[in-house]
Structure 1
Amino acid sequence: MVTMKKNLTLLVFDARGTPVRQASIPRMLLPVSALFLLGIAVALYAGISAYHRLKTETKDVRGLRSALQTQEERVLQQQDQIVAFAQKIESLKTQLAELNRFEQKIRIIANLETSKDGSSLFGVGGSDPEDLDPTAMMELDYQELVRDMHAEINEIDQASHNQLDSFSNIFKQLEGKRNLLAATPSIRPVKGWVSSRFGYRKSPFTSRREFHRGLDIATHAGTPIIAPADGLVTYAGKRGLMGNMVTIEHGFGMVTRYGHAQKILKKKGTYVKRGETIALVGNTGRSTGPHLHYEVRLNGVAVNPTKYFFN
């Protein structure tokens, strides 16, 4: 290499030592070239580092995205569980309310003292059986939601204890009225659909307004008719427009009558138990089709049979 004043001369020799090429490079180009190469090296290092960092961050983002998706699915599952739990709470409250209404019906039929807690079954929390809306619940704050759920559960727990105490009280009162209950026509005498209810109606024969003293239950001919309570058969035979009819006296002023029977299975003077078959559904007497005409009389006055049905 030969150094000149402003330029540098670069000689290239072959294997025999003979100069084959000669280049003149400005002296100032060396530091510029060095800086340029250094810049390239720095840029390349920065690019490689940025690539690795971006690759790592991309992997982290994918992990976070997967974790977020998993978390969202878990939240949706929890929301579904909360809604299902809220619906279960509502179902339990509805069942308790039904039990309470059933209790009041028993008290009326058995002429028992009305429950003092009957009107406030859910009074411990001041809420009604339909006040917990699962859809609206999801808009509440989580802590508030948990507090409401706990309040509902505590309310149901208190109401169930109240209902248990009330039924225990009924049981004690019914012990002394067992005979009265046995004589109360509390079950349906036949399976079928009600074709004519108790009360005023338009006669299917005269088209005039008349008072229907019983309940017509339409069903297939030959369907068993059962006694809705214990009692004594006081009539079993043909009875004018009623066709083949059975009358049962249950005591305590309660009498039931069964008309249009196809066949009577019990004789007059027979004592029957609740659920025992007494006749078969028919179409005798004045009738438009197979059905049972069922009457309940209290002290000689026809009353609505449906008021006595437990089932």
Structure 2
Amino acid sequence: MKIKWGKRTFTFLIIPDANSKVMRFRFSAILLYSLPVIGLILLAITLFMNITGMKNLNEKKAIAAQLVVQSVTFEQQLTDKEETIEKLQNSLVELSEQTEEMKLKVEELKVFEEEIRGISSNDSDETTSREVSIAAYNHEVKSLSAGVGGATQNASDEDITSLISDTEQTLHSLTGDIGSLKLQLTDTKELIVQNIHMMRITPSIWPTLSTKVSSRYGYRKDPFSRRAAFHSGVDIAGDTSDPIYTTADGIVTLANYDRAYGYNIIVKHASGVSTHYAHLKKILVENGQVVKQGETIGLLGSTGRSTGPHLHYEVLKNGDTIDPMPYLGVRD
């Protein structure tokens, strides 16, 4: 006999107690046999969801941990960047201060250079009037505007740090060099002062506007007797009333008229040196007067034993005449 499962049913009786009504529940066999399958399916779904949820949770935790690590890394990088920026700013401030010090030292050197230039140049108006003008070319450099270009490569923090370090070393080196240069300039200035002082107390300039020598020092044919005679100075031709300048600082020891020298002046200088100016038209100083190099002491003329307007100029060393030409910067 075949059993028809689709029509077979199961009845469940529930008797609460003797006096209560009996409750009956009737289920088909298919439903009862399907319950375990449904339960297994639900269990499988539950397990799958739990496993999937755990996996997602682990992935979320991993992502969160990775984000934490990246956040810490970014914060450290940001801190390093801020420290680098601060160091760069401090370095730039130090460089700025050193630059200001350099500017001050350069300004000091400029002042020094001006002092040396002032010392080296002759600021006497009278001396300037004696100097012969020399023509010179003035080369003028004209700046032309030009384009610039090229590929650009941004500098890294390391490049900037290295640049700052190199610049600091260069500035320190320049500071030392400028200090040494300043000492050298000080010594040079003192030497120049000494040299200028020696030049001022030593006959070293022309006593006239003219530089035309009409008769040299030594033996010559006397212009009056036409015989050989010793000439104790040099004759410098010029125009009547041209100014006569003392060739070095000194004191006037003689200022009078002489039959041979006419109106004449003797100025005593340092180191036993004296200078003699003769045949003057007029004397502008007096005996005992202190005179400075380049000062006008008389006017050119032709008084005394003279054939025409000129200055007879002598240089004496310890009372003896010597050739004046080397003192005028002229060498034989």
Q: If the TM-score is normalised by the length of the shorter chain, which range does it land in?
A: 0.3 to 0.5
Provide the TM-score with structure 2 as the length reference.
0.41
For the pair shown, the structure with the greater C-alpha radius of gyration is 2
